[in-house]
Amino acid sequence: MAPPDKSEIIFLIRAYNDMDIQMSLVHEFAKDERFNIRVIGYPCDGDMGSPQSHEAARYMYDKYGVSFETVLDKAPAPFHLRLMYKFERFIAPLRHKSWADNIVVGSVLKTLHLAVLVPMRKMLKGELPWLDKIAESWDPVFINCDEAVLQKGRAYILDKYVSSMSARGVHVYAIQTGQTAYYDASPNKASIEVSENMKTLQCLKGCVHRFTVPAKLDSDVVRERSPNLKPEVHGNLRMDRSWIKRLHEEILVPPYMNKKAYMDKLPQGKGPKVVFMLSKLGYGIKVDELKDSIKLVADMPGVSCAIKPHTRGMKFDFMDPKQLSDTVIVPDIPSALLIEWADILLFTGSSIAFHAMILNKRVGFLQNAQYIPTIFDDGLSCDKFDTNEQLQAFLENWRDNGEPEVDAETLKARHKWQADNIHGGLESGLTAQHYKDLYLGDLKVLKNPHQRKVS
């Protein structure tokens, strides 16, 4: 329970992705001493949210005392589920250690992990009456979660309690996880499955106070699939300008990190340093074109090159690394360090490019390697390459004459593009502050006497 002089706010987390989206807002409210912040992981689709595993969790706890917890941390959660969850959380990170690349060790860890994870997922689906006492003990001024609250059948706790919180005078806010960068909103099989789920979005009367999305394209997609919904465009919380800066300066690259150990793995030539931030190949990638672009840069004299496969499960197995001269493949180096090292980041649609843009780093969109129309096609957001010949000429000019200048009008247009396409029209880019002001404006007009006032 919150101290008597503080109002409690609950952020519900089902997975890493929605934790990543909500963290800037958690931070914005955590700075306000009127509030006690609880970030709670819950079961959804059989998976268990684990907010403690987010890279910003320790920072938020140490600096602001934010509570990161799960519904499986203590009773009334069944003892066997608590034990299984603790073991699963212990074993999962071990599978990503370098020594786990050993075939025997990796196989043993995978077997142990799945032996617990698979039955635990089954036990976390369907009706979970032990959650009743947990949810009934909550007394927040509002609950923040993602669109799962609008998808009946995904999570017992959302269906039974959160969607009916308004009757208790509690506002529920739903935020779309992720941002649509593709005009074909289903670029791969995984996204097609997500889009089928999105068709089940339904806003029952009083279910949520607001359902917010990052940009107009997201709103258009939601309205087409679910005409009964009225999503509001308020910008991408994950890309809050001040939060991105804090992430890169204090959290993702903290002062105690051994940066030299990572940087020593990267080429240190004098020419332009190029990093490819790869999307999964299912996201509309013209694989042959991408391979040609990579080989072009790798073979270019006076240019340093590094390649970062997508952070979620992508292996660099679509071409032979031996073809790539002095290029290094660096799945283990944090993206924040690669952005710091590189002079230009090349991408085909990954949202990591937003980070670099917001940090005023040079970014290049490889439209030649992308067959799905994207929000980057207009060329207003960054440098754009329609052919490998353009890419080659650009890098050779940089190598021989220094970084090509960007005139003031182009810089202004790029900033406006960010405001329109990332930050919900906010020139400041401070989306978290905007969301906080929006929520507090709602709370000031609450009439239900049960609801604690925010003064």
217 and 135 housed in the same domain: yes
Q: What is the pLDDT of residue 90?
A: 95
Q: What is the mean pLDDT of residues 224-248?
A: 92
Say if residue 192's pLDDT is above 50.
Answer: no
Q: Are 345 and 308 in contact (CB under 8 A)?
A: no
273 and 151 housed in the same domain: no
Q: Which of 281-285, 309-313, 329-333, 375-379 has the lowest mean pLDDT?
A: 309-313
Q: Which residues of 210-227 are buried (b: 16+ CB within 10 A; e: fewer)?
A: bbbbbbbbbbbbbeebbe
Q: What is the mean pLDDT of residues 226-239?
A: 92
Q: Does 101 or 265 have the greater pLDDT score? A: 265
In this structure, is the dihedral angle defined by the CA atoms of residues 30, 34, 36 and 37, taken in order, positive or negative? Answer: negative
Q: Does 175 or 260 have the greater pLDDT score? A: 175
Q: Does 31 or 153 have the greater pLDDT score? A: 31
Partners of 346 in the β-ladder: 276, 364
Cβ-based neighbour number of residue 394 at 10 Å: 16
381 and 301 housed in the same domain: yes
Q: What is the pLDDT of residue 187?
A: 54
Say if residue 190's pLDDT is above 80.
Answer: no
Say if residue 191's pLDDT is above 50.
Answer: no
Q: What is the mean pLDDT of residues 158-180?
A: 86
Q: What is the mean pLDDT of residues 168-174?
A: 89
Q: Does residue 322 sit within a domain?
A: yes
In this structure, is the dihedral angle defined by the CA atoms of residues 107, 70, 175 and 412, taken in order, positive or negative? Answer: negative
- Residue ranges in 226-343 assigned as alpha helix (H): 241-246, 259-263, 287-298, 335-341
Q: What is the pLDDT of residue 101?
A: 80
Q: Does residue 13 sit within a domain?
A: yes
Q: What is the pLDDT of residue 334?
A: 87
Domain containing residue 326: CATH number: 3.40.50.2000
Q: Are 143 and 42 in contact (CB under 8 A)?
A: no
Q: What is the pLDDT of residue 3?
A: 55
Q: What is the pLDDT of residue 327?
A: 86
Could you give the number of structural domains in the chain? Answer: 2
Cβ-based neighbour number of residue 111 at 10 Å: 9
381 and 284 housed in the same domain: yes
Q: Does residue 122 sit within a domain?
A: no
Say if residue 320's pLDDT is above 90.
Answer: no
Q: Does 116 or 321 have the greater pLDDT score? A: 116
Q: What is the pLDDT of residue 225?
A: 82
pLDDT band at 206 (very low <50, low <70, confident <90, very high): low
297 and 189 housed in the same domain: no
Say if residue 203's pLDDT is above 60.
Answer: no
266 and 310 housed in the same domain: yes
Q: What is the mean pLDDT of residues 136-163?
A: 90
207 and 326 housed in the same domain: no
Q: Which two tokens stand for residue 274?
A: 């190029």
Q: What is the pLDDT of residue 71?
A: 97
Q: Does residue 249 sit within a domain?
A: no
- Residue ranges in 211-345 assigned as alpha helix (H): 216-225, 241-246, 259-263, 287-298, 335-341
Strand (E) or helix (H) holding 418: helix 408-421
209 and 271 housed in the same domain: no
Instruction: Please write the tens of the pLDDT for every residue from 67-112.
Output: 999 999 999 999 999 999 999 999 998 987 878 888 999 999 999 9
273 and 386 housed in the same domain: yes
Q: What is the pLDDT of residue 156?
A: 93
Partners of 307 in the β-ladder: 276, 329
Q: Does residue 454 sit within a domain?
A: no
154 and 274 housed in the same domain: no
Instruction: Please write the tens of the pLDDT for every residue from 369-407.
Output: 999 999 999 999 999 999 999 999 999 999 999 999 999
Q: Does residue 272 sit within a domain?
A: yes
272 and 235 housed in the same domain: no
Say if residue 188's pLDDT is above 60.
Answer: no
Q: What is the pLDDT of residue 340?
A: 92
Q: What is the mean pLDDT of residues 244-248?
A: 93
Q: What is the mean pLDDT of residues 356-372?
A: 95
Q: What is the pLDDT of residue 268?
A: 83
Q: Does 324 or 307 have the greater pLDDT score? A: 307
Q: What is the pLDDT of residue 195?
A: 44
Q: What is the mean pLDDT of residues 213-223?
A: 92
With H, G, I as helix, E, B as strand and everything else as coil, classify residue 326: coil
Instruction: Please write the tens of the pLDDT for every residue from 336-352.
Output: 999 999 999 999 988 88
Say if residue 155's pLDDT is above 60.
Answer: yes
Residues above pLDDT 70, as percent of the chain: 91
Q: What is the pLDDT of residue 448?
A: 44
Among residues 74, 10, 75, 85, which one has the least CA distance to residue 43?
A: 85
Q: How far is CA 22 from CA 34, 236, 449, in A?
A: 19, 10, 28
Say if residue 214's pLDDT is above 90.
Answer: yes
Q: Which two tokens stand for residue 206?
A: 């009083």
Q: Does residue 117 sit within a domain?
A: no
Cα separation of 229 and 388, whole Å? 43
Average pLDDT of the chain to the nearest whole number? 88
Q: Does residue 67 sit within a domain?
A: yes
220 and 284 housed in the same domain: no
Q: Domain containing 148: what range? A: 7-77+130-240+425-443
